[in-house]
Structure 1
Amino acid sequence: MTDYARLLPLAQEAVDLAHDLMRTLQPGALTFKGDRDMASELDFAIERRVRDHLAAKAPDIGFLGEEYGSSGDNSTLTWALDPVDGTVNFIHGSPLCAISLGLVHGAEAVLGVIDLPFLGTRYHAARGHGAYANNRPIHTNGVTDLKDAVVAIGDYAVGSEANRKNTERLAITEQLTRHVQRIRMHGSAAIDLAWLADGKIDAFIMLNNKPWDTAAGVVVAREAGALVVDVDGAPHSMDAVATVGGNDLILPPILTLVQRSLARAEPDRGAQPSPT
């Protein structure tokens, strides 16, 4: 098995550079990418800095960033960066934002570094080496019943087909209100997956999957003991359409709730409840 941990020092270096920029610079001018979707000047600056650093140190590894897309010609290993995960939070002065740098082998997340610059915490993991918060080993919670679970959900949709997409998200939210202890929306997939790993939440549901959003968080969560799957229950990969995570006891009822909610919201979607 490939030892991806050998690339952790390089990933940490790159995130150090991003951390310094995020802590010292203002968001700057905003670029609107669509309906209520924007990137700050700092998003672009961080991505350029990290991309250039990694290209110089590891030119054989490809790169995928949220703002500038792909570079490099490598179909095996690719860095996946969200320079500011939670841009809306960041530009509003909220500390709930993150730098998320993952490494993807084919379609599988194998290494991740998630830095929370305004909360003083950095998460990292490499496949087979465990997950850590500020070098402290972390593990998921052992919650076994939905009524005791704190569940984080991804943002509601904006832009194209937002109404249809939010019908599904609202159906899931409505069912969660009936069964779980609390619902949280933090506005950052990287934070949600890191906090799932660290036991701060018990499950995570996002009807979306972009590699820059999820690559780092998926490997951190898995190395902490979480199961992370697609909406149909298949193991999560960068090709998945959704991101659902929890421990091995809480995930089955969460997944069933999600599938039933989707079926009710859009009967023709084809999502079928799994047996319980």
Structure 2
Amino acid sequence: MGPRAGGCLMYQLDHLADVARKAVRIGHELIRTGRPETVTEKADRDTFTDVDVRIEHEIRKYLAEATPDIDFVGEEEGRSGSGAEGACIWGLDPIDGTANFVHGIPLCGISLVLMRGGRALVAAVSLPYFDLHYSAVVGNGAFVNGKKMSVSETTELSKSIVAMGDYAIGKDASKKNRERIKLTAKLAAQVERVRMFGSAAHDLVWLAEGRVDAAIVLSNNTLDLAAGILIARESGALVMDSTGATHNINSPDTVAVAPGISDQLLSLVQSTSSLLD
């Protein structure tokens, strides 16, 4: 059996990892078998669909039955549970990459994390259109379809694929995107290729699997990133912010990278002046 998380948890972490994997498979099947019937605008160029809502509802229901002592927060319907300070909580992004999903682009996933005190303990990510299932338990490594994985061993920036997070939308998007475009140009001049998948889940789990060598997201949304960050870390990635400090839930941005190019990439990121406020 795996280690206990302590505090509010009454469960073993390996059991909770199994629960998380089963939970994201619910979303996996709903995405594979359906297309959105309604698309609702929630902010500037930011939408959710009836499928997002259905996935969140079904996973919330499953987790309430499987782990009734653990709180839950979802991107579309908010929090349920005790709300007690220091409580363990499941965090769900029902469709990471909703814009892709709406347009029929097969780059979207379901992302679930268990956190306590701002620390990720268990993570599961499913990429339905690729039939890829990722999971991790803190301290126990990360797996794809049951096989242990690790980040790439590349040491040359010029031979590296770097995933960039989406350009900004909403408030101050123009200012934020000037910095993103500046960084993209610097990367394009020095790395093998820059890729923008439109899904932080893809960026991070593909870093963990060695498909890409780094992932840069100039923001830090816990529900979008926390599961992928744990999976990347458990595969050997270094996850920092743009100052080089260890990444946490309060970090302003996210730089996740294979160790062999970490210094080179961080230097490049820092050479782009004033990333974000």
- TM-score, normalization by structure 1: 0.92
Q: 2:124 is matched by which residue type in structure 1?
A: V
Counterpart among 33, 51, 60 of residue 24 in structure 1: 33
**Structure 1 outlier segments of 4+, above 6 Å:** none
Q: CA deviation at 1:12?
A: 1.6
In the alignment, the residues of structure 2 paired with residue 226 and residue 28 of structure 1 have an alpha-carbon distance, to the nearest angstrom, of 38
The answer to whether the 8 Å contact 1:172/1:262 transfers is: no
Once the two structures are superposed, what CA deviation does each residue of 1:207-238 show, in whole Å capped at 9, x if it has no partner?
A: 11111111110111011110111222221122
Once the two structures are superposed, what CA deviation does each residue of 1:210-269 show, in whole Å capped at 9, x if it has no partner?
A: 111111101110111101112222211222221111122212221221122133x68xx5
Q: CA deviation at 1:163?
A: 0.2
Aligned to 2:178: 167
Task: Return 222-231 or 254-263, whichever deviates more.
Answer: 254-263
Aligned to 2:8: none
In the alignment, the residues of structure 2 paired with residue 52 and residue 124 of structure 1 have an alpha-carbon distance, to the nearest angstrom, of 21
Aligned to 1:146: 157
Once the two structures are superposed, what CA deviation does each residue of 1:68-105 show, in whole Å capped at 9, x if it has no partner?
A: 12222243311111101111111111111101111112
In the alignment, the residues of structure 2 paired with residue 84 and residue 203 of structure 1 have an alpha-carbon distance, to the nearest angstrom, of 22
Q: CA deviation at 1:9?
A: 1.4
Counterpart among 10, 15, 30 of residue 6 in structure 1: 15
Aligned to 1:57: 66
Q: CA deviation at 1:42?
A: 0.5
Counterpart among 28, 53, 70 of residue 44 in structure 1: 53
Aligned to 2:130: 119
Structure 2: unaligned runs, 5 residues or longer: 6-11
Aligned to 1:202: 213
In the alignment, the residues of structure 1 paired with residue 248 and residue 71 of structure 2 have an alpha-carbon distance, to the nearest angstrom, of 18
In the alignment, the residues of structure 1 paired with residue 169 and residue 100 of structure 2 have an alpha-carbon distance, to the nearest angstrom, of 15
Q: CA deviation at 1:144?
A: 0.8
Aligned to 2:94: 83
In the alignment, the residues of structure 1 paired with residue 206 and residue 121 of structure 2 have an alpha-carbon distance, to the nearest angstrom, of 18
The answer to whether the 8 Å contact 1:140/1:224 transfers is: yes
Tell me, what secondary structure is at the counterpart of 1:262? coil
In the alignment, the residues of structure 1 paired with residue 136 and residue 260 of structure 2 have an alpha-carbon distance, to the nearest angstrom, of 23
In the alignment, the residues of structure 2 paired with residue 215 and residue 227 of structure 1 have an alpha-carbon distance, to the nearest angstrom, of 14
Q: CA deviation at 1:59?
A: 2.1
Q: 1:144 is matched by which residue type in structure 2?
A: T
Task: Return 75-84 or 185-194, whichever deviates more.
Answer: 75-84
The answer to whether the 8 Å contact 1:109/1:237 transfers is: no
In the alignment, the residues of structure 2 paired with residue 113 and residue 11 of structure 1 have an alpha-carbon distance, to the nearest angstrom, of 6
Q: CA deviation at 1:182?
A: 0.4
Aligned length: 266
Tell me, what secondary structure is at the counterpart of 1:115? strand
In the alignment, the residues of structure 2 paired with residue 241 and residue 197 of structure 1 have an alpha-carbon distance, to the nearest angstrom, of 22
Q: 1:240 is matched by which residue type in structure 2?
A: S
Within-5 A mapping of 1:158-237: 158-237=169-248
Q: 2:225 is matched by which residue type in structure 1?
A: T
In the alignment, the residues of structure 2 paired with residue 244 and residue 79 of structure 1 have an alpha-carbon distance, to the nearest angstrom, of 24
Sequence identity, in percent? Answer: 43
Structure 1: unaligned runs, 5 residues or longer: 270-276
The answer to whether the 8 Å contact 1:142/1:247 transfers is: yes
Q: 1:91 is matched by which residue type in structure 2?
A: V
Tell me, what secondary structure is at the counterpart of 2:130? coil
Tell me, what secondary structure is at the counterpart of 1:109? strand
Q: What's the C-alpha RMSD, in Å, of the aligned pairs?
A: 1.4
